Each structure stands twice: as C-alpha cells, then as structure tokens.
Structure 1
C-alpha cells in the first residue's frame, strides 16, 4: 500500500459531501414514506425489490454517519458535519453518534487486534462474530426507543408495512455493513499492518451495490479521510501503483 500515491485533503471536496448526504437522506425518507403507504401483496415481486432498495438506503444513512465521523461530510463546518452525523446515527436505530465515533477511531487505531472493538478474539465464523459485533454496538436503550417508535408509528401506518419496510431493512443493513465492512475485510491473516485489511476485486458497480465501495477496505484504512464516493478513485490508483 503506497500511501503517498494520493494527494488529497478533505477540504478539497467542497460541498460535495453535503450533496451526497442530502441525496441519501432524502431518498431514504421519500422511499420510506412511500413504502409505509404501499399496499403490500406478498406475491408481488416488487415488495421484495423495495425491501432491498430500502436496505441499501439504510446502509447509506449509516455510511453518511461514518463519513461524518471522519469529518468529510462537511469538512469546512465541523458543527454541521457532526450534526448530520448525529442525525444519521439516530435515524439508524437510534445509534449513539459519540459512541460510534469513539469506537470507530479505536477500530482504525487498532485494526483487527484485541484492542479493536469491531474484532472478535479468535477470529470465529460469521455468526459468532456478528453476534459479538451487535453486542458491542446495540444497547437496551436503543431497543426500547425502537419499540416505542414502532408503537407510535403503528397509529398511522399498517403493521406489516412497518415491519417490511422499516424494521427488516434496518436489520438487513446491519448484516450488509458487518459482512462487507468488517467480516470480509478483516477476517483471517493480513500482511499490511497496521491496517490489517483487504479489498475486494475491482468492480465499481458491485462495490457500490454491496456497501457503498467499502469493499475497497484497505484503501479506506490507508486514507480514512476519503469519503465513500472517492474510494473507487483510490482503488484505481492503488492498482495502478502496484502494476
């Protein structure tokens, strides 16, 4: 990993981080409002397509909170950057933005070691690691808030719509984030300390659909100040340097 290969400063992205954040948040919100009023027919394949679309948008909401943690949503305005990060973390099952920030910086500092909150001692299979990951980030308080919100929303929206398009996508999104952003990049042995991360093969379409380019995970750890939409550029440059 030739980290000097990219000359880039977060401030050079200007307002583009805000545009991407606004696009994701508005898409998620508009889609959610539409789907909560959508007549569900379980024999209609569009229902399952919409679940997958909303899952991907949920993941985008979390990715925006993640980029805010790295200060690249609004690099010129720290208060605005953190406000957007707080909003996105809250929308994603009432996550605590400050706690996420603290633990995520520990993850970058101690990647794939026993001091990494995202790492599971013994490097086990997917389910055991996933369970450990959830315990690290989900609190009883969050579950209570989700339950209260569900019961309030149930006063206006059908129960099956809430489950199919609000609850299920949130759960599936945690699988998506964990599998492509933690498990695949950090499992097994690594030969690039201190990042201890690997990247998927170059395919920008699949990389976006899988987890907003976070399959290019070695690049993210090498240049954590790059927003998600800059990771393909980093991957291309990294492969060019290696060739």
Structure 2
C-alpha cells in the first residue's frame, strides 16, 4: 500500500511541476519579459515554452492511461482535464476514447491517429481529428483578450506559436515517425521506436519516441518510460 501511495503522489507531483512551470513561465514571459529578437534568451524561452506545452499534453496523455494518479481515478481525471484544457482548450473526455481507440486499432482504418497518405495529408488528418471549431473560437477570444493586457509580440511568441509547434512536435515524434511505413509481421504494436538516446528522447517528446515501448507497456508513465528501452 505504501508503494502505491508513493507512486501516486510522485506522479501527481511531476504533473503539477509540468503544469506549474508552464503557467509560471508564461506569466513571466507575458507580464515581465522584454522581448528582444537579438537576444538568444528569447529563443531559449520560446523553445522551453514549446517544450512545456508538449508536457501539458503528455501529462493529459498519461492521465488517459491512469498513471498520473494511479488508484485515484477522480484526481487522475481532474489533472488530465486541466492539462488538456490548458493546451489550446483540448477537452479530455473527447480525447480519452480516441486515444484508446488508437491503442486498440493501431495503424489501421479504425485508428483515428493513422493516415496512409503523405506527410502533409497525414498531418492535416491528425489536426482534423483533434482540433474543433470551439477550440479555435476560444483561442481567438483568448488571443484578443490577452493582447489587451500584454504586448502583442509576447502573446504571439510565447503563447500562440508554441502551442502550434507543440502540436506539430507531438504529431511528428509521437504519431508520424513511429507509425509511418510498413512494419514487420511480428511487430505486434505496428510501431517504430527511436534509437536509445535518453537526452534526445526527452527533449524531442518526453520519451514518447520510444513508442513501441509505450504501446507495449502503456501503464508506464512518461518519466519512467526510458527504463523500458533496451
């Protein structure tokens, strides 16, 4: 029982760190930071905020597998819902069945994440599956509200564009690369995987480039997924 509680609280702590870092950095970048395109720090902050946006979705994703707060379904769902909502107003109850459909029917016609066409066609198919009109409306309203209180350049650079790039990052490393092309008949998860490089795996997509490993052990949270890599 003690081990379960420790695992539960550690997962919650890591989720709250990701959400807290995203929130704190965004507030600082919008409210305090003087944008200077000649400064390397601007681009470091931009990339970090993009990475934290990706972390929001990864946190929501882990909640879909019940591993943010194992044994605490209400807490797990609450954290997943908050993380998804902060990432461009994604709605957790809508994402949940689609993601499990992906796991059950990976790389088939019933897989909402899969598309057999070109890279561009696949990307737009992915966007159509996960972006709704009401999200676009809410993002537009939020953008217009934020620019009333913060510099427009900061809103674009640190709130809007990182969300777009994080969506592409999630698609490229978490969907396209692992599932494109043909897979061997004995590949039961029809998924590829990155070569073992924990630094790159974390930076690129919170270890979800180790995608075969994730499909093989979906009960492993992102921060322990590297341990499954042989």
Length-normalised TM-score, structure 2: 0.95
Once residues 10 and 86 of structure 1 are traced to their aligned partners in structure 2, the CA distance between those partners, rounded to angstroms, is 22
Cα gap change, 1:197 to 1:10, in 2 (>3 Å): farther
Q: Match of 2:14?
A: 20
Residue from 197, 201, 217 that aligns with 2:195: 201
**Does residue 26 of structure 2 align to residue 32 of structure 1?**
yes
TM-score norm. by structure 1 comes to 0.90
2:117 to 113, 121, 124: 124
How far apart, CA to CA, are the structure 2 residues paired with 1:164 and 1:179? Answer: 21
CA distance in 2, matches of 1:22, 1:33: 16
Post-superposition shift, 1:11? 7.2
Could you tell me which of 58, 64, 71 is aligned with 1:63? Answer: 58
Partner of 1:6: none
Aligned pairs for 1:186-197 (under 5 A) are: 186-191=179-184, 192-197=186-191
Aligned match for 1:226, one of 208, 220, 228: 220
Taking the aligned partners of 1:42 and 1:96, their CA distance within structure 2 comes to: 34
| Structure 1 runs of 4+ with >4 Å offset | 9-12
Q: Distance in 2 between matches of 1:128 and 1:159?
A: 32
How far apart, in 1, do the equivalents of 2:37 and 2:44 lie? 11
| 8 Å contact kept, 2:8–2:68 | no
2:153 to 160, 174, 199: 160
Q: The residue matched to 2:88 in structure 1 has which SS?
A: coil
Deviation at 1:168, TM superposition (A): 0.5
Tell me which of 160, 169, 180 is aligned to 1:176: 169
The alignment covers a number of residue pairs equal to 226
Q: Which moved more, 1:222-231 or 1:11-20?
A: 11-20
When residues 179 and 11 of structure 1 are mapped into structure 2, their CA distance, relative to the original with a 3 A threshold, is farther
How far apart are residue 230 of structure 1 and its match? 1.2
User: 1:50 offset after TM fit, Å?
Assistant: 1.0
Q: Give the match for residue 144 of structure 1.
A: 137
Deviations 1:26-61 (CA, angstroms, capped at 9, x unpaired): 111111011113111111121111111100000001
1:111 and 1:51 mapped to 2: Cα distance? 33
Larger RCO: Structure 1 or Structure 2 (Cα < 8 Å, ≥ 6 residues apart)?
A: 1
Structure 2 regions of 5+ residues with no counterpart? none
C-alpha displacement at 1:66, in angstroms?
0.3
